[in-house]
Amino acid sequence: KAFMDQGRLQETTSILLDALKANRPDQAQLQTQLLAMNLQQAPKVAEAILQMNLFTHYDKKYIGQLCEKAGLMQWAMEHYQGGDTSDLKRVMLHAHTMTPEFLIQY
């Protein structure tokens, strides 16, 4: 929190990545915060974190919404999977931004 209060996203991200590497259920809120702050301020970093598939306990619907706002439509679709079909339909309007391989697998 001290680093974030000073606007030090890179340091905060580094510390949290290390602290959360155990991927425990009780870390869900911190996992969500880590992904959220990066999606809002550094979407490329957030995408890299998501690609590493390190976390499984965060709020997927909320992160899906932030992925959508950040223009990361493939990630939004993955996070909306099994949820509200209206979210999926809305994201599918941006299918042209997704890779054909992703769409075929989906």
Q: How confident is the model at residue 51 (pLDDT cuts 50, 70, 90)?
A: very high
Of residues 48 and 90, more confidently modeled: 48
Q: How confident is the model at residue 1 (pLDDT cuts 50, 70, 90)?
A: low
Q: How confident is the model at residue 3 (pLDDT cuts 50, 70, 90)?
A: low
36 within 8 A of 67, measured Cβ to Cβ:
no
Domain around 74: 2-105
91 within 8 A of 68, measured Cβ to Cβ:
yes
Q: How confident is the model at residue 84 (pLDDT cuts 50, 70, 90)?
A: confident
Is residue 75 scored above 80 in pLDDT?
yes
What's residue 6's pLDDT?
Answer: 63
